[in-house]
């Protein structure tokens, strides 16, 4: 019964993930078509509003102008690469990492429970499936972390 429950939850989560990816892909393709039915309206980003009231006129200092200009100017930051911008827009990484990690943890818990029931051994491929799920979950968590760092870089640059 445990095997059916675990394999059913794995099949359900895989089918849900594939269906979600298919739905997002179809919406993306529909957004590329003339008329853009499936996607959000694409408008250029508006610059952030800056509060004029919060700005004060710079106070004149008693120091000579030579000391003020002696500070080196920081290097202007480069714009992020295209891969970084793509990763920053990848909003699916965190939910996929959460689903993958939870699926791995349920399968690992079931594998641990099956090891204490000697009359009913786990099927031969189950251990390799749990190992593959663990590597997949680790890869998805790594991808989510890289996407988060890319989003931070894009926010900082622009």
Could you tell me the residue ranges of all domains in the chain?
81-158
What local confidence, expressed as pLDDT, does residue 127 receive?
87
What local confidence, expressed as pLDDT, does residue 39 receive?
47
What local confidence, expressed as pLDDT, does residue 59 receive?
58
Asked if 120 contacts 69 with a C-beta cutoff of 8 angstroms, the reply is: no
- Whole-model pTM? 0.56
CA 144 to chain CA centroid, Å, is 4
In a 3-state reduction of DSSP, which class is residue 50? coil
Q: Which residue has the tokens 């760092």?
A: 149
What local confidence, expressed as pLDDT, does residue 143 receive?
93
What local confidence, expressed as pLDDT, does residue 95 receive?
83
Q: What is the pLDDT along the chain (158 residues), one digit of tens a residue?
A: 677 777 887 788 888 888 888 888 888 888 888 876 544 555 455 555 545 445 555 555 555 555 555 666 677 678 888 988 888 888 888 888 888 888 898 888 888 888 777 776 777 788 898 999 999 999 999 999 999 999 999 988 87
Q: Which residues, in sequence order, are CB contacts of 72 under 8 Å at separation 6+?
A: none
Encoded tokens for 42: 């694409």
């Amino acid at each position: 019964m445990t095997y059916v429950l675990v394999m059913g939850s794995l099949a359900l989560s895989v089918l849900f993930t594939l269906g979600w990816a298919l739905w997002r892909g179809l919406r993306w393709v529909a957004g590329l078509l003339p008329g853009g039915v499936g996607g959000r309206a694409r408008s250029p980003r508006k610059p952030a509003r800056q509060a004029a009231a919060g700005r004060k006129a710079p106070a004149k200092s008693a120091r000579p102008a030579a000391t003020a200009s002696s500070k080196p100017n920081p290097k202007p930051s480069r714009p992020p690469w295209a891969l970084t911008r793509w990763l920053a827009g990848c909003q699916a990484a965190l939910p996929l990492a959460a689903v993958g990690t939870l699926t791995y943890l349920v399968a690992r818990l079931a594998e641990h429970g099956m090891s204490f029931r000697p009359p009913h051994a786990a099927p031969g491929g189950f251990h390799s499936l749990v190992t593959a799920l663990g590597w997949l979950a680790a890869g998805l968590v790594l991808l989510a972390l890289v996407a988060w760092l890319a989003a931070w870089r894009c926010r900082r640059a622009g």
